[in-house]
Homo-oligomer: A and B are copies of this chain.
Amino acid sequence: MDSPHSMAPGHIVAIGGAEDRTSDLEILRRVFALAPEGRDEVAVIATASGIPDEVLADYEGAFSRLGASRVHSLSIRDRRQAAEADTLRRIEQSGVIFFTGGDQLRLTNVLGGSPVLNTIRQRLQEGAVVAGTSAGAAAMPGTMIYNGAAADALRKGAVNMTFGLGFVDGLVIDSHFLERGRFTRLMEVGASNPEYLGVGLGEDAAVIIHPNRVLEAIGTGHVILVDSRDLASSNIAELSMGEAVAIEHLILHALVSGHGFDIEERRYLAPDTLAAATRGESA
């Protein structure tokens, strides 16, 4: 069927945080391998981070080891820097644009509507890979979670959301998902609007979002999918703020490396079917 969502030619990689940056580099290796032929420069954007120099050094080391000809370390601390011509030029040269972790609200607050963000969207249309970890993953969809109760987020209003960076539609992404017990956050989002697939990324786990809107799990951790499309009932609209939300019927999947999911068809893809679904288009 025709997808209602626009498909960029480039790949998106959303990482759950704490990915290996010093040893096998399993996830970052896949990110780098997805760059278009001959585009081996990498731009790393540390806007989300409170310690940009430290994380930029980490990623510069990692992508250099993987064979990047240049790694552009971009702090981009404010909206003025998000419009600098030199920064735009570095992004235009890059085959990989990578967002570090930190605070996703800082990311959207600084980059929303900026020339840097427009340039990244353009690069994605041209086939570049856009990747991000932790906050950098959470910010990728059109709507993002930026805060939520840790223990029981299944209370009306317990999850705070706003517009994200808009690289991908039709889903919501949460990171550090298993490690921080965030199942109830995606359950609340699912009850509030069952149309959107919940993607919960564990640490050292990631999804590649292929241009044909197939998800592929990579890394050593888990990718949990919370599919609310067949939600049978919920009391959420009747509640006052803070009251406990009831939910009848969500579907859960747990993906590990090599397993996938077709977003449009809501279909789980075991390794053999995943290979068929991504054949000929992956790097």
Closest residue of chain B to A235 (Cβ to Cβ) is B256
Answer yes or no: A193 CB below 8 A from chain B CBs: no
A152 CB to nearest B CB, Å = 4
* Cβ-defined contact, A222 with B244, below 8 A: yes
Answer yes or no: A166 CB below 8 A from chain B CBs: no
Number of interface residues of A (CB under 8 A): 36
* Cβ-defined contact, B245 with A254, below 8 A: yes
* Cβ-defined contact, A152 with B221, below 8 A: yes
Give A253 to B190 CA distance when docked, in angstroms: 12
A120 CB to nearest B CB, Å = 32
- Integer count of this chain's copies in the complex: 2
Contact A254 B187, CB 8 Å, known A220-B244, A249-B268, A268-B248? yes
Answer yes or no: A202 CB below 8 A from chain B CBs: yes
Contact A246 B235, CB 8 Å, known A152-B221, A181-B180? no
Answer yes or no: A270 CB below 8 A from chain B CBs: yes
Contacts of A270 in B (CB 8 A): 233, 248
Q: A residues near B, CB below 8 A?
A: 151-152, 154, 178-184, 187, 202, 220-222, 226, 232-233, 235, 244-257, 259, 268, 270
List 10 other contacts, CB 8 Å, given A246-B255, A247-B252, A249-B253: A151-B178, A152-B221, A154-B222, A178-B181, A181-B183, A184-B222, A187-B254, A248-B268, A249-B268, A250-B253
